Amino acid sequence: MANLFAGIGTSHVPGIGAAMDNGKAENDYWKPLFDGYGYVRDWLAKEKPDVVIIVYNDHASAFSLELIPSFAIGVASNFPPADEGYGPRNVPAVEGHPELAWHLAESLILDEFDMTMVNKMPVDHGLTVPLSITCGESEIWPFKVIPLCVNVIQYPSPTGNRCYQLGKAIRKAVDSFDENLKVAIFGTGGMSHQLQGERAGLVNVEFDTAFLDDLTRDVDRLVKLPHVVYLRESGSEGAELVMWLTMRGALDDDAKEIYRHYHVPASNTAAGLIILENP
């Protein structure tokens, strides 16, 4: 049977990818951020998951205002890097796992999560930056990926609770997949940041720290946070953090934190990283 053993929460700031792509990861500005990523790369190289479900959001790349799925799952065998307006990132294409992805889609829909199923989906920095963060530079990504895309651009996004419950349904689906696969799940985006308006540049360390703490101490509090609290306290784009709750929902209730890293700034964002493992 497939085994979902761990989850990672990580920011997906495009600047992090650009710093790697342009060889700036060792400079004074970026080094303190990247120094915190060594642990997760070693951990992942040791754990060697077969498949990673990456919960992320598309930023006007695969989807536009023409069609806005609240939850979409990539069921293809291949997902090319997207051109987001300045040429695609020079990173490997992402290999999917259609069998598990279709099993997830089927199980989730019968569990009343009405997923949009997607065969053609270029993936943008929301997905490829977390891969770069956790795998470093690579000729080929070391595991297969199931992209799970959440709308957080058009208000309202799904609620934190809905994202969390989706995580629980994902876990149930993985547990019932009849193949020995080691599966991890990433929740991406955040942490506090606001890109737009006169309040651009907002960072709220207290909010972020409490969020990281409560992923293991008080998940109920996080699950109940309404959109307005994210918008006000973590910034208009900090509201991406609901995607971390899908990752959390897929893990055991008593999952343990084994690592965290937090750094301000990555461009305009507070960058967070956490690894949670099932006992």
Partner 1 sequence: MREDRDYSDIPGTYVFDPHHSMLGYHLNMFCMSLNEEANRDKFQADERAYLEGFSLTPAQQTAVLDRDWLGMLRLGGNIYYTFKIAAFDGLTMQQVGAAMSAVAAAEFQEMMVHGGRAIEGNRYQSEWDANG
125 is catalytic: yes
Binding of partner 1 by 90 (CB under 8 A) = no
Residue of 97, 125, 261, 263 marked active site: 125
Specify the stretch interacting with partner 1 by CB under 8 A; choose among 131-139, 173-181, 222-230, 245-253. 222-230
Binding of partner 1 by 78 (CB under 8 A) = no
Per the CB < 8 A criterion, the answer to whether 125 and 89 are in contact is: yes
Backbone angles phi, psi at 96, to 5 degrees: -90, 180
Residue closer to partner 1 by CB (options 168, 227) is: 227
- Rounded CA gap, 82 and 24, in Å? 22
Per the CB < 8 A criterion, the answer to whether 99 and 128 are in contact is: no
Residue of 12, 103, 193, 263 marked active site: 193
193 is catalytic: yes
Residues 201-220 touching partner 1, rule: CB under 8 A, are 201-207
* Sign of the Cα pseudo-torsion (177, 179, 183, 185, in order): negative
Specify the stretch interacting with partner 1 by CB under 8 A; choose among 2-10, 95-103, 224-232, 251-259. 224-232
- Rounded CA gap, 193 and 116, in Å? 28
- Rounded CA gap, 200 and 203, in Å? 9
Burial class of 8 by CB neighbour count within 10 A (0 to 12, 13 to 18, 19+): buried
Binding residues for partner 1, rule CB under 8 A, total: 49
Binding of partner 1 by 117 (CB under 8 A) = no
Binding of partner 1 by 86 (CB under 8 A) = yes
Binding of partner 1 by 22 (CB under 8 A) = no
Instruction: Say if strands 256-266 and 269-277 run parallel, antiparallel, or are unpaired.
Output: antiparallel
Residues engaged in binding partner 1 (CB under 8 A): 14-15, 29, 59-61, 64-66, 82-87, 153-156, 192-207, 226-228, 231-233, 235-237, 264-265, 267-268, 270
Active site members: 125, 193
